[in-house]
Structure formats: structure tokens, C-alpha cells
Amino acid sequence: MTSPSQILQTTDESLLAEFFQASVGQWRSERRYYTLPEGETKEMVSVITISFLEQGCEKLRKLAQMHSLPDTVNLTCGAEVIWESTNSISNKKESKGTTLFGALGNTIYRDRGFATAKPVTAQYYFPNPTTLCLRTEYNNSVFEEELKLVGSKYRTRQSIISRAGEQLMIGQYLEKRI
């Protein structure tokens, strides 16, 4: 017999696979970061390329090894995100890189965090089939993210970074498929 928590977990994993697959492609991400409490803003444009990772692929196996998961554990699906960011005002290149995401149950395993190059995990859930919510905690900080698919051509994102219960930064993003 399948328990309700197993059904929910399977449902969330399949929703995550569908979300990752719907996100495959290249996106132009217009980002605005607000530093709190001052309200100082920074505007960025990123080009993001997202690929879907199938269960059992080499990148997901390496990601599982980074997290010291047993060899018998297979991440169910994942995504690879490649980005290059430019400051919108100065036109200066800010950053570029790659991040791997892999799922198992209601946990997303990442090869790096926002503010660390070390592997991190996030808990995720879906308030509806087109909205993915993540909560990541490390270095006494909390990163809460909401990613929403808006039709097939747009995504919105919002990130809130907090430490000791105080919000430090809000990031808002509009991503357009290119």
C-alpha cells in the first residue's frame, strides 16, 4: 500500500520534472536586487541556458557523490543552468558559471549555493503546478525563492535572503524565452 506522503512525494517529483522540462531553453533574465534596509538597487541582465538532466546521467551521479549519497541512490531528475550576467548600468560583465540541480523526494541537491561554492540542499514544494518554491539554509542565512512559469515564454522569480530573521536582500526577475 502507498502512503499519502509517498504519493505527495511522487507528485512533487513529477511536478519538478515537468517544471524543469518546461524551463529548458535559453532565457534573458532581467534582474533587480534591493539591498535592505537602505533600498539600494542593482540591475543585471543575464542570459541563462537550462538543460534537463535525466535520472542516471553522469552529471546527476557526480552531484550525488558531492553530497555523499550512497551509490544505490539515484537522483530522479535535474537541471543544469548556465548563466552569464552583465550589470545593466555599467554594462560590465559581473559573473558567469554553471549550477547543477538534482531532485530526490522533496529535496533539491545543488552543486553550489548563491553565496558559496560548496554543495547545498533546498527543500521545495509546489503551491500550484506552475510555481516552484525553494528554501535553502546555510551559513546562518535563509534563501527563499519562488519561480513561476507564465505561459511558455515567461518566468518570474523572487528571492528573499535573510539572516537572523532579518531580510537583507530581495531579488526580482523577469525571464523571457529567447
Q: What is the pLDDT of residues 10-53, one digit of tens each?
A: 468 899 999 999 999 999 999 999 999 888 899 999 999 999 99
**Domain ranges (residues) in the chain:** 2-175
Backbone angles phi, psi at 131, to 5 degrees: -125, 120
Domain 2-175 has CATH 2.40.128.20: yes
Q: What percent of the chain has pLDDT over 90?
A: 79
The residue type of 85 is S
CB 12 within 8 A of CB 124: yes
Q: Sorting pLDDT into bands at 50, 70 and 90, what band is 144?
A: very high
Let me know: does 34 contact 6? Beta carbons within 8 Å. no
The pLDDT value given to residue 89: 82
Average confidence score pLDDT of the chain = 91
- Using one digit for the tens of pLDDT, what is the confidence trace for 48-80? 999 999 999 999 999 999 999 998 889 999 999
Three-class SS of residue 8?
A: helix
Count H helices, E strands: the chain?
2, 10
Residue 11 pLDDT: 65
DSSP state of 118: S
Look up residue 136 and give its three cell numbers: 535553502
- 103-108: average pLDDT: 95
What are the φ and ψ backbone dihedral angles of 69, each rounded to 5 degrees? -75, 150
Q: How far is CA 32 from CA 19, 82, 170, in A?
A: 23, 19, 8
Q: What is the pLDDT of residue 102?
A: 97
The mean per-residue pLDDT over the stretch 146-174 comes to 96
